[in-house]
Structure 1
Amino acid sequence: MGTGTDAGLLRFVRGVSLDEGARKWLAEAVPGEFFTYPGGLTAAERQAVTYARLRHAGLAAPPAAELLDDPPALCALLERAAIADPALFHVMLLHYTLALGPIVRFGADGEGPREARAALESMSAFGALLMTEAGRSNSHLSPRTLARHDPATGGFVLSTPDAAAVKFPTNTAHPDIPKIAAVYATLVHGGRERGVFVFVVPVRGLDGRVPEGVAVVPAPETSGLPVDYAAVRLDGLRVPRESWLSDGARVEADGSFHDPVGSPAARLTRSMGIGPAVWRAVVSASAAITRASAGTLLAHSAGRATLGRLAPLRPLTDYRNQREAVLGALASAYALTAVARHVTERRAPADPGTGTGGGAGPDVGPDVGAGGPRTAWAPWSAVDRDLALLKAAATVQAQETVSMCRVHCGAPGFAAVERLNAYRGLAHAYQNAGGDNELILYDTARAMADLDRYAPPEPGAGPPDEGDLRSPRVWLFLARDVERRMRDRLAGRVADARAAGRDPFTAWNGNLVLAARTAVACADRTMLEILVTSLEEGPELLGPVLRLHALNWLDRRAGDLLNEGVVPAGVLDEVWALRAEVCDALAPRAADLAAGLDLPAPITAPAAGILPGDGG
Structure 2
Amino acid sequence: MTTVKALAALVRGHSEPDVYASAREFYLGLPQPDPAADTEARSRQVYTNLRAAVRRDKDAGLLGLDIGALTTQLTWAAVTDPSLFIATLLHHGMAHGSVLELSGADAESATTALATCTSIGVFAVTELGSAGGHVALQTVATFDPDNRDFVLHTPHAGARKIMANAGDAAPKIAVTYADLVVNGESVGVFAFTVDVSNAAGPLTGVQVSPIHTPLLPLDYAIIRFDSVRVPYGSWLADGATIDQEGVFRDVARTPAERLTRSYRILGNSWPSFLVGVSAATRAGVTVAISAAQVRKASGAQQRYLIDLISQQRTLLSALATAYALTSLANRAVGERTAVGLSAPTIAGERRGLTPWTAVNRAHSSWKAIAADRAAATLADCRLSMGVQGTLTANRVVAYEGLARACHAAGGDNTLTFVDVGYTLLEEANESSGEGDDRPDIIDLGEPNCLLALLHRRVRHLRGEIHASSARHPGEDRATFKDRYFHELRDLGEAVAVTDVMAAMIDDMRKLDGHVRPVYGWIACLFGLQEINRHLHSFVTFEILTRCQIAGVARMIESLCVRLRPHIVDLVDAFEIPFEIADF
TM range (shorter): over 0.9
1:335-484 → structure 2 map (5 Å cutoff)? 335-346=324-335, 347-350=337-340, 352-353=342-343, 368-371=344-347, 374-415=350-391, 417=393, 419-451=395-427, 458-460=434-436, 462-464=438-440, 466-484=441-459
- Rounded to whole Å, the distance in 1 between the matches of 2:399 and 2:147 is 48
Q: Could you tell me which residue of structure 2 aligns to residue 360 of structure 1?
A: none
1:514-529 → structure 2 map (5 Å cutoff)? 514-529=487-502
- Rounded to whole Å, the distance in 1 between the matches of 2:112 and 2:476 is 51
Give how far 1:201 is off: 0.4
Q: Which moved more, 1:545-554 or 1:490-499?
A: 490-499
Q: Could you tell me which residue of structure 2 aligns to residue 248 of structure 1?
A: 239
Instruction: Give the TM-score taking structure 1 as reference length.
Output: 0.90
Q: One-letter code of the match for 2:208?
A: V
SS of residue in 2 equivalent to 1:233 = strand
Q: Could you tell me which residue of structure 2 aligns to residue 9 of structure 1?
A: 7
Q: Could you tell me which residue of structure 2 aligns to residue 258 of structure 1?
A: 249
- Rounded to whole Å, the distance in 2 between the matches of 1:388 and 1:454 is 23
Residues 1:279 and 2:275 are matched in the alignment: no
SS of residue in 1 equivalent to 2:427 = coil
Give how far 1:516 is off: 0.7
Q: Could you tell me which residue of structure 2 aligns to residue 98 of structure 1?
A: 94
Q: Could you tell me which residue of structure 1 aligns to residue 304 of structure 2?
A: 315
* Contact persistence 2:61–2:114 (CA under 8 A): no
Q: Which moved more, 1:228-237 or 1:299-308?
A: 299-308
Instruction: Report the CA distance shift for 1:352/1:295 in structure 2 as closer, same or farther (over 3 A).
Output: same
Instruction: Report the CA distance shift for 1:544/1:131 in structure 2 as closer, same or farther (over 3 A).
Output: same
- Rounded to whole Å, the distance in 1 between the matches of 2:479 and 2:206 is 40
Q: Could you tell me which residue of structure 1 aligns to residue 152 of structure 2?
A: 158
- TM-superposition CA deviations, 1:242-289 (whole Å, max 9, x none): 100001100011111100111222101111101111000011111101
Q: Could you tell me which residue of structure 1 aligns to residue 65 of structure 2?
A: 69
**Aligned counterpart in structure 1 of residue 43 of structure 2, from 42, 47, 69:** 47
**Aligned counterpart in structure 2 of residue 32 of structure 1, from 26, 29, 51:** 29
Q: Could you tell me which residue of structure 1 aligns to residue 461 of structure 2?
A: 486
Structure 1 portions without partners, runs of 5+: 354-367, 611-616
Q: Which moved more, 1:88-97 or 1:468-477?
A: 468-477
Give how far 1:17 is off: 3.4
* Contact persistence 2:418–2:481 (CA under 8 A): no
Instruction: Report the CA distance shift for 1:231/1:573 in structure 2 as closer, same or farther (over 3 A).
Output: same
Q: One-letter code of the match for 1:551?
A: L
- Rounded to whole Å, the distance in 2 between the matches of 1:461 and 1:25 is 46
SS of residue in 2 equivalent to 1:254 = coil
* Contact persistence 1:287–1:336 (CA under 8 A): yes
Give how far 1:222 is off: 3.4
Give how far 1:453 is off: 11
Give how far 1:337 is off: 0.9
* Contact persistence 1:18–1:73 (CA under 8 A): no
**How many residues align structurally?**
578
- Rounded to whole Å, the distance in 2 between the matches of 1:47 and 1:146 is 30
Q: Could you tell me which residue of structure 2 aligns to residue 130 of structure 1?
A: 124
* Contact persistence 2:192–2:235 (CA under 8 A): yes
Instruction: Report the CA distance shift for 1:53/1:452 in structure 2 as closer, same or farther (over 3 A).
Output: farther
Give how far 1:455 is off: 6.5
Percent identical: 31
Instruction: Report the CA distance shift for 1:245/1:462 in structure 2 as closer, same or farther (over 3 A).
Output: closer
- Rounded to whole Å, the distance in 1 between the matches of 2:432 and 2:364 is 18
* Contact persistence 2:256–2:351 (CA under 8 A): no
Give how far 1:415 is off: 2.8
Q: Could you tell me which residue of structure 1 aligns to residue 74 of structure 2?
A: 78
* Contact persistence 1:129–1:182 (CA under 8 A): yes
Residues 1:510 and 2:483 are matched in the alignment: yes
Q: Could you tell me which residue of structure 1 aligns to residue 184 of structure 2?
A: 191
Give how far 1:377 is off: 0.4
Give how far 1:229 is off: 1.3
Structure 2 portions without partners, runs of 5+: none
* Contact persistence 1:460–1:477 (CA under 8 A): no
Q: Could you tell me which residue of structure 1 aligns to residue 202 of structure 2?
A: 210
Q: One-letter code of the match for 1:18?
A: E
**Aligned counterpart in structure 2 of residue 168 of structure 1, from 162, 168, 176:** 162
**Aligned counterpart in structure 2 of residue 582 of structure 1, from 542, 555, 559:** 559
Instruction: Report the CA distance shift for 1:585/1:42 in structure 2 as closer, same or farther (over 3 A).
Output: same
SS of residue in 2 equivalent to 1:195 = strand
Q: Which moved more, 1:515-524 or 1:52-61?
A: 52-61
- Rounded to whole Å, the distance in 2 between the matches of 1:586 and 1:456 is 44
Give how far 1:370 is off: 1.1
SS of residue in 2 equivalent to 1:491 = helix
Give how far 1:78 is off: 0.7
- Rounded to whole Å, the distance in 2 between the matches of 1:455 and 1:475 is 25
* Contact persistence 1:25–1:60 (CA under 8 A): no
What RMSD, in angstroms, separates the aligned Cα atoms of the two structures? 2.1
- TM-superposition CA deviations, 1:37-59 (whole Å, max 9, x none): 33642322111111111111122
- TM-superposition CA deviations, 1:382-440 (whole Å, max 9, x none): 10001101010110111111110000011111136251111111100101111000110
**Aligned counterpart in structure 2 of residue 178 of structure 1, from 162, 167, 171:** 171
- Rounded to whole Å, the distance in 2 between the matches of 1:456 and 1:348 is 31
Residues 1:228 and 2:201 are matched in the alignment: no
SS of residue in 2 equivalent to 1:417 = helix
**Aligned counterpart in structure 2 of residue 330 of structure 1, from 319, 323, 332:** 319
* Contact persistence 1:170–1:231 (CA under 8 A): no
SS of residue in 2 equivalent to 1:171 = coil
Instruction: Report the CA distance shift for 1:439/1:40 in structure 2 as closer, same or farther (over 3 A).
Output: closer
Instruction: Report the CA distance shift for 1:454/1:31 in structure 2 as closer, same or farther (over 3 A).
Output: farther
Give how far 1:488 is off: 2.2
SS of residue in 2 equivalent to 1:149 = strand
- Rounded to whole Å, the distance in 1 between the matches of 2:466 and 2:257 is 26
Instruction: Report the CA distance shift for 1:58/1:267 in structure 2 as closer, same or farther (over 3 A).
Output: same
Q: One-letter code of the match for 1:69?
A: L
* Contact persistence 2:35–2:392 (CA under 8 A): no
Q: One-letter code of the match for 2:28?
A: P
- Rounded to whole Å, the distance in 2 between the matches of 1:449 and 1:156 is 42
Q: One-letter code of the match for 1:56?
A: A
Instruction: Report the CA distance shift for 1:81/1:153 in structure 2 as closer, same or farther (over 3 A).
Output: same
Instruction: Give the TM-score taking structure 2 as reference length.
Output: 0.95
* Contact persistence 2:350–2:358 (CA under 8 A): yes
Q: One-letter code of the match for 1:583?
A: C
